Amino acid sequence: MSESEQLVRRVLLCAAGLALVMAGCGWLFWSADFALSVGLGAALVCGSFFLLQRDVHQLMELAATSREAGTLGKMGFLLKSLGRFVVLALLLFVAAGKMTIQPLGLILGLTTIMISVIVVGLAQKRKRISGISE
């Protein structure tokens, strides 16, 4: 497994753990709807992040082969990204029709990837500065 794949895996694991903690605290201190909203936001953002990193990896491999293929790959990447956002918006719209969504819980769930990227990035920086190897 390459270093970039390991980092993506760490980010996703950190985000899942963070989402579980947030959802558990939300359920204990707020309501079940709040916890479900956190879980929904985290699931949407983690799925989007996973698909995005896979598409970026494919684009980079395609761009390395030739310049013309890279240009076509950029258009495909753009269309995939736009399509993904449309699908995510539709999923959120359908979920809003089926359950009560707490906006604060949804926003907290959506921040799990951002927080995880920061945590994993700082941990990697600390390892490199201190010279710790795995």
Question: Mean pLDDT score of the chain, rounded to an integer?
Answer: 83
The C-alpha atoms of residue 7 and residue 79 are separated, in whole angstroms, by 26
Place of tokens 């970039």: 4
Q: What angle do CA 93, 14, 80 make, to 5 degrees?
A: 45
The C-alpha atoms of residue 21 and residue 38 are separated, in whole angstroms, by 10
Q: What angle do CA 87, 93, 99 make, to 5 degrees?
A: 130
What share of the chain in percent tops pLDDT 90?
A: 7
Residue 53, CA distances (Å) to 8, 23, 46, 94 in order: 8, 25, 11, 25
pLDDT tens for each residue of 7-61: 888 888 889 898 889 888 888 888 888 888 888 889 999 988 898 888 888 777 7
Q: Which residue has the higher pLDDT, 134 or 17?
A: 17
- Biggest alpha carbon distance in the chain? 55
Q: Model-level pTM?
A: 0.78
